[in-house]
Every structure is written in C-alpha cells, then in structure tokens.
Chains A and B, each alone.
Chain A
Amino acid sequence: MSDRSWRRLVIVQVLIASMLIALLGRLYYMQIASGPRYQAAAMDNQSRDIITPAARGMILDDKGVPLAMNRTGLVISLDHEALQKAKDGGKELLNRLAKILGTSYEALVARTTLCGAKSAVTIGCWNGSPYQPIPLTNSANSDMALQIIEHAEKFPGVTAEPEGFRFYPAVGGANAAHVLGYIGPVSTADMKSKSSRNVGLHQYDLIGKAGLEYQYDTDLRGESGIRQVVVDRTGAITRIVRSTPATPGNHLVTSIDARVQTVVEQQLAAAIARARAGPPGDRRGSHSADGGAAIVMDVTNGRIIAMASYPTYDPNIWENGLSYKQAKTLFSEASSVPALSRAIQGQFAPASTFKVVSLAAAAAAGYDLNATYDCPVNLKIGNRVFTNFEGERFGRISMRTAIAVSCDTVWYQIAYDMWVRDGGLRPKKNPADYFFKAAKAYRIGERTGIDLPSEVTGRLADRQWKTKWYANNSHFFCNYQKEAIPSQRTPMLIAIAKENCVDGMKVRAGDAVNFAIGQGDTTITPLQLAQIYAAVANGGTLWRPTIGRAILKPDGTLVREIKPQKLGRIPMNQKTLAFVRDALRAVVTQGTAVYPFSGFPISVSAKTGTGEVFGKNLNGSPKDTTSWLATYAPSEKPRYAVVMMVSQGGTGSLTGGPSVRKIYESLFGVTGSTVNPALSLFPKGPPSALPGLTLAGRILPLHGKP
C-alpha cells in the first residue's frame, strides 16, 4: 500500500473529526448559548391559554333596574381557519350553515370576512381576532345546534355552545343607547396600546367601546380566567399548568332613572314628530327636524337623570357584529347619523338661551338691569341692519321684559356699545371683553367633563379663536371666486368672503352683536346648556355632570361612590342671579314660553332659543332653525333642569315646549293643572340611597321588598 493511501486516510480522518467538532459546536450553541430562547419557543409551542370570559357587571338605573345585563344564548360560532382550510374558501360550508340558520350565504360571508380584507369595505366584516371563533348567531335554537352537532364532519370548525352575551333589555322602553354605549371584541390596536385601561386584556376579551360601557370598562369587565395547559401536537391537553378562575366584573349604578328616561325619549320623539307635522301656532309650518336631544339633570348635584338623543338605535345590534347595512345606517347623514350622541356631541348656536351669559356680561359692565331699554324693530350697525327675530317692536321696556319676550335689539345696542368702548375694529390693548369673559366663566367652549367618552367642546368664538380661524381660512376667502364651489359663488357670499379676507381676523361689530344673542360662530352642546341652567337654578354652582353613582361588587357591597364635583361658579353676584331667575320665570309667565306651560301648577322657569344655522341640507334646502328650550323647576326651590333641543326644529317654545311640560308632568305627578304626588316618578326627589343587591347578585328594588 502506498504512502499516498495512508496520507489520504489521515486527511479523511481529520475531515471527519472536524465534522464531529462542528456537530458539538452546534449542539453547544443550541442547548447552552441559545438554550433559553429554545426553551421559550418550546413553552410557546406546548402551552395554550384557555380564556374563560368573566361575567361583565351590570349597568343599573337609580333603583336597580338593569339597563345593561348578560344573557345566555345558544351561540353558533365558526373558526375562521376552517374557511381558509376549505378548498372552495368555505363556500359550501357557509351555504350549508345559512340554510340551517335561516339566513343568507351573503350575510354569513359579511359576518366572517375579516376587517382588513379588501372586500370588507363593502360587505361588512368581523372586527375581532382571526383566531377567535366568530359568533354567527347568539339566538340559535336547539334544532339548529343538533343539526350541526350531529353532522360535525359536515361542519368543520363550527361549534354550538351556550354562551353569555351582553343584552340591553330596555325595561319599560328606556333605550338609552347613546348613554350605555356598546361592547366589542378587543382589537389588535387595543392589544398594542399601552394605555393603562388595556392592561390585563386577553385576545378574546370583550371590552366597552362607547358610552358607559367604555367609560367604566375597567370596573365592569372583571378579569378573565386563564387555564394554561400543555398540549401535544394535535392540540390535546396533556397537563394543566395553572388555572385562575374568572373574576366577575363590578356593577355600575347610575343616576339614570329608567322611567324618566323612557318619558324623555318618548317626549323627544314627540317633539320631533310635532316639528315635522308643523307645531300648532308655528307660522313657518313644518320643519325637517333631523335630530334632537333632551336632558334631565338634578340641579343640586349635576347628576343626569335622563339623557336622550334622536335618532337612536337598538344597542343590541352591536352584539353580533354590525352588518354593513346597519353600520351604514348608523353613520350615514341621510339617516341623520343615529350613532351621534347629540346631547354631548351636537354643537349648535345657543341663540337666545345664551342671554343668561349676556346678562352676566352686562351686569359686570355696569348696566342697570332694572332700568328700561329701547327695543326697536331693528338696529343699523355699520352698513348692516340687525332685526328682531320675528320683527317684533316693543318700544321702551324693562330688561326683565326684554328677556321674557326675547328682544334682540336691546342686546345689539349693548354689545355694540361695549364693542365701540373696546376700540371697535382697532381694539384697545386690554379690551374689557365683558361678553367673552362671561362666556369663558360659564365654561363655553369647554367640555362639561361628564363621565362619557367622546364629548365635544363646543366653541367660544372670542378674539383668540378669530385669529386662529383667520390663519386657517384667509387663503380660501381671499381666493373665494377660484376656490369656492360654483353653487356658492353668489354675490352675497362673495361679498362676505371679501370682507372676511380683509378683516376676518378681527372681531367686527356684527360679530360682537351676534355673540350677545348666541348667534354666529359660538356653539354649545345641549349638555353644556343643561349645566349652565342647572347652575342658574342652584344658586350659581357649575357641576360636573355625572351618570355613574357607584360601583358595586357582584355581591352588592360598595366598591366606591362616584361623587359629584363642583367645577366653578357662574360669574354673577346674588343680586344679578336673583334678577336672572326672576326674568327666566317671566319668560314662562308673560314671555316666549307662556304657551307650553299655561295652567301648569308647578312654577317653571325657562328660556327659549331659536338658533339660525348657516349652510344647506343634502337636498339643497337651507338649514332650518335650531329649537332650544332650557328650563328648570320648581322655580322657587329648583330641583330639575330640563333641556330640549331639536335641530332644524323651528322654535323652542312651540316645538319643544309641550314635550318639556310632559316631562315635568311625570316628574311631579301633574295631571292637567293639579299635582298628585302619588303619580310622581320621584315623590321625594331622585333617590339618595343606592339600590341593594342580594348575595347572588340579584337586584333588590329600592322601594319595598320583593
């Protein structure tokens, strides 16, 4: 044998030795250097978290009537993976399911398409995790379930199990959709969010998405139970690592009273219907009345007893995931956007209801409220003529009467004088700005701070706002004839644009006088108005409106009370306040609100408002006026503030008046012109005690044992 053979043998042996060293090196790298990473991967591989959803706490009214509760239904769910695995994309499976569930194939496609898929935009989609079984219905009957269970092989990925779901019972008809909100599956964005409210969320949890369900979600949702199990390759459980039971959520007691809520909703709808039919006595006839809001507030603490928004919707439609059509209706302008909570999200010019602010400004500026003022039919300011709303002429009248009959020209004169004193178009360095300062003190342009999400601020159109607004819009106004849509290139609009281009940053005389009567660019929400009139009624305290009263454990013990909170005082001394309250009473006894409250045995104070709205509807018609009615009662010792607003609804008195009267009738137990406390919904005022719960979490009625 040659040396060559021997040499090559040694070379081969060296190669083999290096191969073995490579194996050992790799082994060391995997087991020691990267060991922890692989161990984590193994744990991930083998362990599964099985989530047991926690029973969500109920939302109760002031007497313990459930506004939101849980129900058990036979839920048929479909694992999205089953669709992906099917050769035909699940077409056959969905067709078979549609037949059994008595729905259409298209409806099931819409329900099971993942949001984010291309087609989801037009047909609707499932907003939850793709790994979570998608509920197709929560009201299956046992027949449907049996057909599916008995032929499991024909229905891969389909389960039929009794499951809890959220239910809004609308006891007595109290819908309260905008107050309650709704719940929905945790989204990927929620899971990624670092917000403290999302701590401890699991992929398949349901969380509050709007309204009280969102606001008090961390109280209501409880904590899901987790069973961490070890599974094998087939997913079969081989061992349970740990198991924590679900902690049920706490209950939320609110100050909403289901019965008052029902009355308010019915009366708001009645006011809308009245406006559409043409309110009796309204010379302008019928109104389109595309929406409205009504609020009942306890003036002594700012608690909300009822809050309604029109149009509304059935909150139960969220439970199964919205269909595309439902979602479209909820958010479409053609159907007046039912999802919009007008009480806290509708912003309108407050019109004459704003005069309680103007009175504070005038008093602060030194005007004698007990003097008489001239109320001509119109007033020429600069080159524009400002008239009273319906062309009334009252001559020389007291300020009290000016408020009662809602004379605007009085305010034009006062506001113009103040504007001139502040320097007019060339304002002084430190203008007195009595109107702006008063409005700011009334918290115009600030959220009320109610315990609901998505509240809007409204707008205080003061000097700073003007400056900002001009910076954003000057280009448009200065190039109006090029940039405006052709239909808006009318001579009048062009003239306004020209004016805006020149001195749009300035508070002009017209702006100043409009501000004084609550017109122009200043807007307010119905809830802000309720907050203001409650403050006038209670002696000056601006309360943070609250709906939540207390959080109770599932066994009924108190977790915490939600205390009302004072936000400030309205800027009036007791003398001015007394004048204002007297004037607001005069509105009902001899002014614009005589009609709805004639013969009413309880003294009511009120202010009407008819807000002009710039712009056009979808059909091209000009926007109708906003009907406002802000009231409180009893005038001597006020307890409730009731505010009703109907957008494009005509006047406050004729449209909202009769409805507000009905609300007071049920609050005080009034029939015709007699008071019968037995009929009152609150014989002794809103309940001050909390409703009790039994140990089993059943509610004990506040009054009387079951």
Chain B
Amino acid sequence: MANSYQSPVGVTNRFNGALRRGGFIRGMDWVLVSAVLLLLVIGAILVSAGTRNWYAAAGLDPNYYLKRHLINIVVGLVLGIATMLFDYRLLRAYTPILWGIAFLGLVAVLIPGIGSTIHGAKAWITLPGGYSVEPGEFAKVAVIAGMAMLLAERREGEKDPKARDVAQSLIIAALPMILIMLQPDLGTVMILSASVLVVIAISGASWKWVAGLILLACIGSVGAVKLHVLHDYQIKRLQSFVDPKADPQQSGYQLRQARITIGSGGMLGKGLYKGPQTNGRFVPEQQTDFIFTVAGEELGFVGSASVIGLFGVILWRAGRIARRSTDLFGRLVAGGIMAWFAFQIFENVGMAMGLMPMTGVPLPLLSYGGTSLFAVLIGVGLLENVHIGRA
C-alpha cells in the first residue's frame, strides 16, 4: 500500500483510492465482513423474536427492542467503518487517548451519581434519553491496543519484548481491570484476562511470563473465593454452575430455564417467534445475555450451530489477519481481539448451555445492548484496519 505513505491523513487518502487495486474496499477482508453482517442480521431477528410477542402481549410497542437494536447497529457500523478507515499509524498515536478515555470512564462509574447499578454491578453511565454506556466494553479495545502499542515498540535488533515492556503492558492492562473488578464485573475481567494472556503470549515474551500469568489467574480465582472478595450473588452463581439446586429460585432457575429452552429446540427449532419458552419469558434477560437461547429454541440445532459456525469464521479470519500481519502491533491487536471475541463467545454460549459459570457477558454481535455492539464493531473495524494496513 504505497499510497498510504504519501498522505498524512489516512482517512481521505483511503477513500480516494478506495476502489483502486490495493485500495481499501478491495483490501478489506470480505469474508469477515460478510460473517459480521450476517450475524448482525441474525442478531436483529433474534432480538425481535425474543421480545416481540411478550411486548405485544403487555400492550407495548412490539418492535421496541428491534428499533433500538437497529439504531445501535447503524451507530456501531459507523464506528466500525470509521475505525477501519483510520490511518494505521495514527491508530497507534490515538491509542493512549482511547485508553485514557476508557480509564476515566471506569473511574466515573464508581462515582455515586454518575454510575448506575444494574444487576449488582456499577458498570453503567446513564445518559439522557434512556441510553447508557458501559465503559468496561471500550476498556477491552483500549487494553488490547494499549498493550499492543507498548509491546510492539522496541529498539533495533530486539526480537522479542523485554521484561520491561511486558511489565509496562501489564500495568496498562491491570489498571482498568482493577477498576472493573471494583464494579464488580467478573465476566469482563475474565475476558480481559484471557485477552491479556494471549497478547503477552503472541508478543513473543518469555514463556515464564505466560506461565506466571496462568498461575496468577489460578491463584487469583481461588483467592477471590477464599478471601470473600466476591459478593454473595457471585458465589451463588458459581455454586449454581456446580450444583444447579444450590440457588434454584434465582441463578439456578435461570440456568435451568436456559438449558431447557435450548434443549427443547431439537434439530430444526420451533420456528421464529414460535418458541413457547421464549414467548413465555421463562429465561430472564433473554434479549441480552441469553440471546443464544432464542436461537437454540427457535432455530434448533441447525440454526444455532450455524451461528457458532459464523463465529468460527470470524475467529478464523481474525487469526488469519493476525498471522498475516507484517508488524507486531497489528498482530497483537488482531490476536487480542480474536482472544477477546473467542473467550466472550465461549463464556456466553457456554453459560447458556451450562458449560461455564454464570457471568453477565453479552454475546458479540447478537445481544441487545449498544455499548457491547459498538465495542465489538470497533474491534471488527480494527481487524479490517490491520488487514488493509498490512504491507
């Protein structure tokens, strides 16, 4: 991409050469884009299927959630495209700013009066007009980009990152993670931990770092339970994962209903808008954290396996972009995003099927909820950016 070197402003430059051979439209990973767009469409349908009938039954606007979700998709796509069009080098320059904003947002949610508590976690900043923002979602982007920036910046002749770089990047990751821990939002912390681990690993840092981090994660999780750092509801959720009867009325009930909803879908599902479990609202939070249960019940094994397949395509393309990236920054960004997506998907779908403990994380691209969607689409934009930017 010789032309990108000629212009100081990447955005206009990329537009100018958009359709030229080697221009960004041709340079985009269209397989990735197709999978993302397909999942966005499926997500919109599932959000509608999960909410339309009971909203209609309650005498409310049956398309309330669908409309808001479509707006979120449009906003998310704009953010994603903008991210994609940023000049690759400017991206590195903007990273500290992005990180700073995310950090301030995480501090803000902990300040009473600004942050609002939903489901026991102070993770949200309420905006006028019924909207709210979850800074933790953006922190994922910021942490991955920030770590990549620090780890990729090295002096001549150095092949792999030195201890100092690794330590710096861990501080960059740890600060927001501590703040998220204080909300507390265990799911996001777990996803970030996985991403941090993968970024460190593929940065080429010594295996001791990798092993050390895995050990730390184990000690951290055991310690959290033993030292009563976790809240009661978090322990209950974990207990419900091990023994669904431990808390049958609350989280145990949710998990049981989620599994029944998915399992009753069978091979071909009950058909869109026709799932009795979904229409009976047996699974709480179905349009957000448990959106996969709608797919499970109404689209059956064929439909929900296809959804997992599409996620597989995205993760494969993310890995491919990481592998093919010509510089370490691009590889670390793409690899980090891949780890983030992968772990979040695994956690969300695994929770709905009883493979993973219950933590409130949304399913990328499908769940209702603006901030998550924006963050994920920004992540996709970054993947495309790296893809286009590869020399």
Contact = CB atoms under 8 A, between A and B. Distances in A.
Check if A and B associate.
yes
B25 interface: no
A188 interface: no
Given A1-B328, A2-B204, A16-B338, A32 B308 contact: no
Residues of A in contact with B, size category: 35 or more
Interface in A45-67: 45-46
B362 interface: no
A234 B54 CA distance: 12
A233 B253 CA distance: 11
Given A45-B277, A46-B276, A230-B276, A1 B331 contact: yes
A277 interface: no
A618 interface: no
Interface string B276-293: 110111101000000000
A31 B260 contact: no
B311 interface: yes
Interface stretch (B77-85, B264-272, B369-377): B264-272
Contacts of A231: 280
A138 B258 CA distance: 43
Contacts of A27: 262, 296, 301, 304-305, 308, 353
Contacts of A6: 323
Contacts of B262: 27, 30-31, 38
A63 to B, nearest CB: 55
B141 interface: no
B294 interface: no
A41 interface: yes
Main secondary structure of the interface of B (DSSP, over half): helix
Given A13-B319, A39-B266, A45-B260, A31 B300 contact: yes
Contacts of B342: 16, 19
B155 to A, nearest CB: 15
A42 interface: yes
Interface in B152-211: 159-160, 198, 201-204
B322 A46 contact: no
A32 B198 CA distance: 34
A598 B368 CA distance: 100
B335 interface: yes
Contacts of B305: 24, 27-28
A9 B331 contact: yes
A274 B54 CA distance: 76
Contacts of A46: 276-277, 280, 282
B295 to A, nearest CB: 10
Nearest to A9: B202
Contact of B202 (A5, A41, A45, A232): A5
Interface string B288-331: 00000000100011001100100110011001001100011001
Contacts of A86: none
Interface string A202-244: 0000000000000000000000000000111110001000000
A616 interface: no
A9 B277 CA distance: 41
Contacts of B31: none
B55 interface: no
Contacts of B296: 27, 30-31
B261 A5 contact: no
A26 interface: yes
A13 B321 CA distance: 12
A5 B339 contact: no
Main secondary structure of the interface of A (DSSP, over half): helix
Contacts of B263: 30-31, 34-35, 37-39, 41-42
Interface string A636-653: 000000000000000000
Contacts of A9: 202, 319, 322-323, 331, 335
Contacts of B280: 45-46, 230-233, 238
A5 B204 contact: yes
A31 B323 contact: no
A45 B308 contact: no
Given A2-B160, A16-B319, A31 B304 contact: yes
Interface residues of B, number: 53
Nearest to B280: A232
Q: Give the one of A19, A31, A37, A231 with max B CB within 10 A.
A: A31
B315 A232 contact: no
Interface string B110-124: 000000000000000
B71 to A, nearest CB: 28
Contacts of A20: 308, 311-312, 315, 346
Contact of B264 (A1, A39, A232, A238): A39
Given A16-B342, A232-B54, A233-B281, A38 B260 contact: yes
A31 B308 contact: no
A199 interface: no
Nearest to B328: A1
B280 to A, nearest CB: 4
B349 interface: yes
A575 to B, nearest CB: 80
Contacts of A705: none
Interface in B78-117: none
Interface string A547-577: 0000000000000000000000000000000
Contact of A8 (B201, B265, B315, B354): B201
A45 to B, nearest CB: 6
B311 to A, nearest CB: 7
B48 interface: no
Given A1-B204, A26-B353, A38-B259, A31 B267 contact: yes
Given A23-B350, A27-B262, A4 B204 contact: yes
A1 B324 CA distance: 11
- Residue from B265, B316, B339, B345 having most chain A Cβ neighbours under 10 A: B265
B335 A26 contact: no
B355 interface: yes
Contacts of B385: none
B234 interface: no
A31 B159 contact: no
A232 B260 CA distance: 14
Nearest to A4: B204
A12 interface: yes
A232 B160 contact: no
Contacts of B304: 27, 31
A617 B312 CA distance: 88
A229 B335 CA distance: 51
B355 A45 contact: no
B84 to A, nearest CB: 22
Contact of A4 (B160, B259, B300, B349): B160
B334 to A, nearest CB: 9
B251 interface: no
A38 B267 contact: no
Contacts of B284: 233
B23 to A, nearest CB: 26
A22 interface: yes
Contacts of B279: 232, 238
A22 B356 CA distance: 11
Interface of B: 54, 57, 159-160, 198, 201-204, 257, 259-267, 276-277, 279-282, 284, 296, 300-301, 304-305, 308, 311-312, 315-316, 319, 322-323, 327-328, 331, 335, 338-339, 342, 345-346, 349-350, 353-355
Given A2-B160, A20-B311, A39-B263, 7 more contacts: A1-B204, A5-B331, A8-B204, A17-B312, A22-B350, A27-B305, A31-B263
27 contacts: A1-B204, A1-B327, A1-B331, A5-B331, A11-B201, A17-B312, A20-B311, A20-B312, A23-B345, A23-B349, A23-B355, A31-B263, A31-B301, A35-B267, A38-B263, A39-B264, A42-B263, A45-B277, A46-B277, A46-B280, A231-B280, A232-B54, A232-B280, A233-B281, A233-B282, A234-B281, A238-B280
Interface of A: 1-2, 4-6, 8-13, 16-17, 19-20, 22-24, 26-28, 30-32, 34-35, 37-39, 41-42, 45-46, 230-234, 238
